[in-house]
Structure 1
Amino acid sequence: MRQFEFRTRVASLELYVQLALLGARGGAETPGLVPGAALVTLVSQYIHDGHPKVRKVALDLLYALHLAGLVLGPDLYPVAVDSLKDDSEAVRFSALRLVWTLSRLHASQLVPLGKLSGTSVGSSDTIQLVNDAFVKVCDMVNDISMSVRTEACVLLGSYHNVQFSFLSQTLSKKVMSHLKRRPPLGKHHPRGSPSADSGASPGRSKRSTIPVAEGDLDVGSDEFRLLDSGACGAFVHGLEDEYREVRHAAINSIGELCLGSAEFAKLAVDYLVDIFNDEIDYVRLNAIQSLSKVADHHTIVLDGEQLQIIFGVMEDADPKIRRAIHHLLGSVRVQNQACIATVVETLTRSVVRHSSDQLSIYRCLGQLGSRHSDLVDTSLVERLLKLEKQFLTREFSQDDGVYTAHMALIFNAAAAKPS
């Protein structure tokens, strides 16, 4: 019966691969089974099978062969990329993993840009496979399936060796003109000229030339090329996704990529701070902790607008989130003295409102003082301790939590100042 034929192909393919792998591990050749390289070729033929379950199994088996130590060549990459457009969610999910695997194995391999990116450029235009794969994975963040979008966001965090021009596009919704090549002088041919279209006669080419106004760009010519829009705003879409799993995965990947690039970290701060207002507790907590990890590796400077968002989260009902905010504030720098004065004022109010957070707040203010010794000057100290030259100072109570908080800031700032 035809409805059972695909199950036969699936079972046969899986059994064949298992027997081949068992034979290879035992060091003995099994009669009727092909060796390693031929096995990869055989399995890859089933990626084009008529049934989605067979296509999925073929992709999964190729990944299993990679884990077993067999070499997957770069010639599989175009096939895996084509599978990303499959109608089946399961096939796209498996293809995504295979594309990622091949981009790790052959990162510096040059692939033709026109063939893989869907443009009309010549085969002489190439791009590193890792960059092209990054764009393809970014494009899957817009997939209709939540599981595929989540997996795409997860995989993006491992692309540490991708070019920054591609990486920065993930946080921008402006399509980038990339790999723009100007033809050599004396060899410029407008679209429709004999040199541009070798199959057309000179007379026909002249009539088909489309004039372009001075100052404009002919987007159909080889001079101007838009990068495949897959990378454009990929993380923005991930952070705005309706499913918490996708947002959570996007935050993790942004944090991972920030650790390897200080430039990307500066771009990502605004987006991570915006997620502090997410409706899901663990998503908010993840965003705060991710930015804290980034601040431990790179210098992160927060402005007044970002601090206002953080102050709102400081009143969260969850003590874990409040203490995560304290840790974050102790790990970053602020723009100016007005900002640090506002931070201190907000934290001291929190000492009174949340007495259980006192130790966390004191630790935060101590770290804040150490990082901002240049901003904690005499005028700020006098303001915090209410010192006025024309009046005698009143002795503060040692049990005053606000006084203790101020002293934690001042003492640590003084200790960090150069002697």
Structure 2
Amino acid sequence: MEQTFLSDFHQSLHKTQLSNSSSLKPFSIANSLILNPSTSIPTLSSILQTLTQTLNQTLPIQFHVIIISLLSRLSITHPNFTSSITTTLNSLLTRPTLSPRATSLALSTLVSLTDKPEILDMSEGVFLSLCFGSSVSVRHKMMLNVEKFGVRPSVLVTVLLGFSKDPFPYVRKAALDGLVWLCKCRRVVDFRLVESCYLRGVELLFDSEECVRCSAVKMVCEWGMLIAEISKDESKKDWLDSLYLQVCEWGKFLVTNSEDKSKRVWSDAVYVQLCLMVRDMSVNVRIEAFKALGRVGMASKYVLMQTLFKRFENKLVEQLKGKHFNLQASSAAGAFVHGLEDEFYEVRSAACNSLRMPAILSAELAARSLGLLMDVLNDDSTIVRLQALETMHHMAAFGHLKVQEVHLHMFLGTLNDMNSSVRSTARKVLRLTKLHDLPMFRLVVDSIIQSLEIYPQDEPDVLSLLFEIGRSHGGFAVNIINEIFLEMDPSSESDWEFNSSKTAARLALAISAPLSHGTRQHLYSIPSTIFSYAVTMLGRISNALNEVMNQETLLAYLSHCSRSTIPNSTLPDSMHDKIVEDDVCTEMDNQITLFHVADQHEVHDEEYSYVKFVLANIVEIWPLLKMGCISEVLMTLRSWKEELATYITDPHQTDSVLTFTLQYIHVVKLLSKAWWHVVLPRDVHNKVGDMGYIMQKLERRLGELRYRFIGLSKEEELHIEELTLVACTMRLSFSDFRLHESALKKLSIYNETSIDTSKFKIEVMSAMQKNDSDTYRFRESLEFFSLKPLILGGNMKYMKAEVDIGVNDWSTPLHFVPGLPVGIRLKIRLHNTPIDTKLWLVMTLSKDLIQYVFIDLKQFEGSDKIREFTFIPPFYRTAKVSSCILRVSIGMECCSEVFCSFRGHGGPNHEIVYLCKEKEVFLSMVVKKS
């Protein structure tokens, strides 16, 4: 069959050449043979030789393009032909009769296949000739792919600046996008040249075309941040002396030198320039403007304050006068107010997001921002409400959220929102909110319980929230507990329902008070009967508090408190305090400590001692690594891992602490290899493997540590988060820019959500704000990282899944009919998986053929500890093949990770972590019997 197709290809190509026709049949046959993985190497060699010979003949223009595309496809599918193909393409570029379209395609293909210096040197000349040619489409394509051709920055910036005034708008847009890329690479550092690029962006902010203005906003943002950073090197120039700013009394700060003054003035100018674009007629331009404001972030306090007032105040009006700009701070008046009142929800959402940076700079700015955000909570768009609450959560994480009573009713209204994500985010904000008086605390508690009565499905999160705010506001909680007890007293005439969600919520609040350090002197004012009532709802409460304590510890705590008796009132207060301290608090502290250390880990003494030894000594390897002892470090880690593995006697009964420690050692090993890649020259990289492969494994292991182990303490989470930040920084410090995009997204998320303030974190944030593509700056920040000790404690549980397919192999395959769905019968066993976990069954037939099926755990009986059920998902994408292997696995969606779009039928919106290894399902087509 293959030879028949090959013969048909040669014959049809010969006929096409003789008749000078435009038939595409020979190229269609060649494409089929190239893409078919079963095609033999001799056949492919014959096709390559024929296509190469055909290129040397006189052909219509479209045929050259088609043949070059086929050669590119052949190189991708069969890399062993790359050398021959690059030689052919290289010879094509020297042919003057080749059309511009074919030349551009050949150049793009060639630079993507090789990075040889001689090719890159030649590509610069071809690139310039194509850019200045007559074909607009080719010129546009060259502008879109400027990063591929290895053009010198000094040449590239000149070309892009020139084409930013091209008559065709999409060429102007592509040129501006190329300048944005060039700025992110930080390959231009001359102040005058940077200034020229910035001013060109400012000029094009008022272009007649929307697409050009959008790119101009991005360009002003990027080049503006760069010029503000490097302006301090030009601070001694005479023209900067005219940029002195009179800062009003309430917001002034001392200008210690001309460098700080210069940088601050440029930052203000960039910020005000972007504020002018939030009133653009185009929706897309307004969205880009707010995104840029959120990215720039830093400006003088009086400028930021001006953006929060719709009508400017005379005392805030300051003039920015310089050589190239004449702006007033009043131009920024009401920028965010206009954004939050925009008629399009996309603009309002972008404005909410960009408010985060001003809100964390000072409490005064946060207070004004909060007043604006409270009005947004009534927005018609769920996305806008959610974004406003996320901004509030960001403010709360930095300690700048001060909710006043006038705002409280509007904020608490979000607890009854119809959207579950909005309600969940509102509860996240409440966890970090400090309530200042008893009436406010009472109002919050009542609103939370009212929300629970409307949405009983939120019970676990609501009970956890009430328990947490009860511990944070123990004095207020104690004051309302007696009122709760009077309503719960069976002797009273109240119509109390002892099995309701409202009862469970109030009990969760009541039992939290003894665990608050500020209320120890009030413990015996809590009726012990309340703790007895709580025992009757042990399952519901423990399900909500599984991250704090397990059911056994909670039962011990409730039993102890229910046996407590009220001390004699004749005893002095000091004796009461001593009894309380010794009898309840110390007892519970001991119980919880024991629980954290040993009870829930189920680790034998010998195993746990070795685990503690490894975790205590692993910090000593980092100084050795910096000294260059990579072999000794890897050998030590390997020996520890092998020793710990000897304690695993039954792979089906996985110990959480042991598994965590083994994976942690593996993470440190990968981290050591990656660090060695970053600090050593390229010629020794092959000693420890490929950087991309190492980083891929490291990020996957870090994801498993973070998401597959539930019940981690805050210290453990921060430790893993710091290692994740290190991994992202290592990606950014490596010269391969293909690794940068995902790392930048993750680094931005962790920078926004983390409240850790280590020196390493501060340096990384500084590098992000100054220069997000300077590899040297990120590599420099790694010097501030040092591996810290890790002490395991908390209710740690390892989440895993087991999938059983039954008897299934090539002798007993599962039969299917091509084009029709086939049901896959699976027996699934889940360990330590909460019911609200988003699980997906991933069915993979090939790299590009993946189907996702959501597993709703609420439909299956079982506990969070162990849940077994039979699941029969249909696989819809059966192909017309006689047999195939379908790979099945279970993944957990990590909702706090980077948003990404998965291919296939449906699927998760975020990255997933796999809970088990892939299982193979053997499928065979049903054969009709004659």
**Residue matched to 1:408:** 508
Q: Give runs of aligned pairs for residues 301-340 of structure 1, distance below 5 A.
A: 301-340=402-441
Give the unaligned 5+ runs of structure 2.
1-131, 233-238, 245-261, 320-325, 521-930
**Residue matched to 2:287:** 150
Q: Give runs of aligned pairs for residues 186-335 of structure 1, distance below 5 A.
A: 227-335=328-436
Letter in 2 for 1:233: G
Query: What's the TM-score, normalizing by structure 1?
Result: 0.72
Residue among 203, 209, 222 paired with 1:88: 209
- Is the CA contact 1:153–1:253 (under 8 Å) kept in the aligned structure 2? yes
Q: Give runs of aligned pairs for residues 9-408 of structure 1, distance below 5 A.
A: 11-12=138-139, 15=142, 22-24=149-151, 35-67=152-184, 70-71=187-188, 73-108=194-229, 124-125=242-243, 128-176=265-313, 177=315, 227-378=328-479, 380-386=480-486, 399-408=499-508
In structure 1, C-alpha distance between the alignment counterparts of 2:229 and 2:318, rounded to whole Å: 20
Greater displacement, 163-172 / 59-68: 59-68
Give the unaligned 5+ runs of structure 1.
25-34, 112-120, 182-224
Q: Structure 1 residues 68, 364: closer, same or farther in 2, change over 3 A?
A: closer
Letter in 2 for 1:37: S
In structure 2, C-alpha distance between the alignment counterparts of 1:375 and 1:95, rounded to whole Å: 54
Query: What's the TM-score, normalizing by structure 2?
Result: 0.34
Greater RCO (CA < 8 Å, at least 6 residues apart): 1
Letter in 1 for 2:153: G
In structure 1, C-alpha distance between the alignment counterparts of 2:297 and 2:378, rounded to whole Å: 28
Pairwise CA distance, 1:179? 7.4
What secondary structure, in the 3-state scheme, does the structure 1 residue paired with 2:298 have? Answer: coil
What secondary structure, in the 3-state scheme, does the structure 2 residue paired with 1:375 have? Answer: helix
* Root mean square deviation, CA, Å: 3.6
Letter in 1 for 2:503: Y
Q: Which contiguous aligned blocks of 4+ residues in structure 1 show a shift greater than 6 angstroms?
A: 16-21, 391-397
In structure 2, C-alpha distance between the alignment counterparts of 1:411 and 1:39, rounded to whole Å: 67
Pairwise CA distance, 1:90? 1.6
In structure 2, C-alpha distance between the alignment counterparts of 1:94 and 1:146, rounded to whole Å: 14
Q: Structure 1 residues 144, 381: closer, same or farther in 2, change over 3 A?
A: same
Pairwise CA distance, 1:247? 1.1
Deviations 1:292-340 (A, max 9, x none): 2322331523222322113333222233322332332222123421111
Q: Structure 1 residues 139, 413: closer, same or farther in 2, change over 3 A?
A: farther
Pairwise CA distance, 1:12? 4.2
- Is the CA contact 1:137–1:152 (under 8 Å) kept in the aligned structure 2? yes
Matched residues, number:
350
- Is the CA contact 1:159–1:257 (under 8 Å) kept in the aligned structure 2? no
In structure 1, C-alpha distance between the alignment counterparts of 2:499 and 2:296, rounded to whole Å: 52
In structure 2, C-alpha distance between the alignment counterparts of 1:316 and 1:352, rounded to whole Å: 13
- Is the CA contact 1:276–1:309 (under 8 Å) kept in the aligned structure 2? yes
Q: Structure 1 residues 89, 308: closer, same or farther in 2, change over 3 A?
A: same
Letter in 1 for 2:202: V
In structure 1, C-alpha distance between the alignment counterparts of 2:374 and 2:212, rounded to whole Å: 35
Q: Structure 1 residues 349, 256: closer, same or farther in 2, change over 3 A?
A: same
In structure 2, C-alpha distance between the alignment counterparts of 1:337 and 1:7, rounded to whole Å: 76
Pairwise CA distance, 1:398? 5.3
- Is the CA contact 1:178–1:227 (under 8 Å) kept in the aligned structure 2? no
Pairwise CA distance, 1:69? 5.0
Pairwise CA distance, 1:237? 1.1
Q: Percent same amino acid at aligned positions?
A: 27
Q: Structure 1 residues 336, 145: closer, same or farther in 2, change over 3 A?
A: same
Letter in 1 for 2:464: R
Pairwise CA distance, 1:6? 11
Between Structure 1 and Structure 2, the one with more strand by share is 2
- Is the CA contact 1:168–1:264 (under 8 Å) kept in the aligned structure 2? yes
In structure 1, C-alpha distance between the alignment counterparts of 2:367 and 2:231, rounded to whole Å: 30
What secondary structure, in the 3-state scheme, does the structure 2 residue paired with 1:157 have? Answer: helix
